Amino acid sequence: MESLVVPALILLAVVAGVALAVRALGKRKATRDAVPVQPAATSAELARAAAAKLSEDEHRRLYALIAQGQAMAAIKLYYEITGDGLRASRDAVGALAAHPQPYRSPEAPAAPEEDDDDEPQRFPYRYRAIASKGDVTREVSSNMLNDEIYGRIRTLARNGDREAAATALTRHSDISMKQAREFIELLDD
């Protein structure tokens, strides 16, 4: 009889441990189910909201990192600027890369989107766009380019419409169509 006491105590301890674990999991599931699920914002809405949190200099620095393909540095910069969580910063930078946003000052009302690519405007600064693949590097410098226009050109190139991207690039710079096509070929990553 005494030989059965020790195994019975071990069995009793195991049963109690399993019962406590099941109870803890049930509470965790109940807590998780009690939190209402918010519908996820679309990527474009997230990009607009993320861009609104940035100053002009921060906006320029963030998009420079995105254009250089330095996603981790861009996420770190956004995280430091906004104080949002790491996952939220990652999602925001991804949305900003997928849907380039022009800088809008906080006091300026959001202007409706106009497709004014037919008449390029000149900016008071020269914009430099650099693309490279392997040992090949191309640079376009123009005062008719800015982050928004270059973002549209990159989106066209990434979506496979290289001819439209090259045409838009020639319209907003002083390069030939051949040079524009060579530049666009380097953007397909």
Q: Give 68-101 pLDDT, tens digit per residue.
A: 889 899 999 999 999 888 999 999 999 988 888 8
Do residues 68 and 101 make contact, with C-beta atoms less than 8 angstroms apart? no
Average pLDDT, the chain: 82
Contact 168, 149 (CB under 8 A): yes
Where is average pLDDT lowest: 17-21, 57-61, 139-143, 165-169? 139-143
Q: How many residues are given for the chain?
A: 189
Residue 112, token pair as written in the block: 């409706």
Higher pLDDT, 80 or 29: 80
**Span 136-169, pLDDT tens digits:** 888 888 888 888 888 888 888 888 888 988 898 8
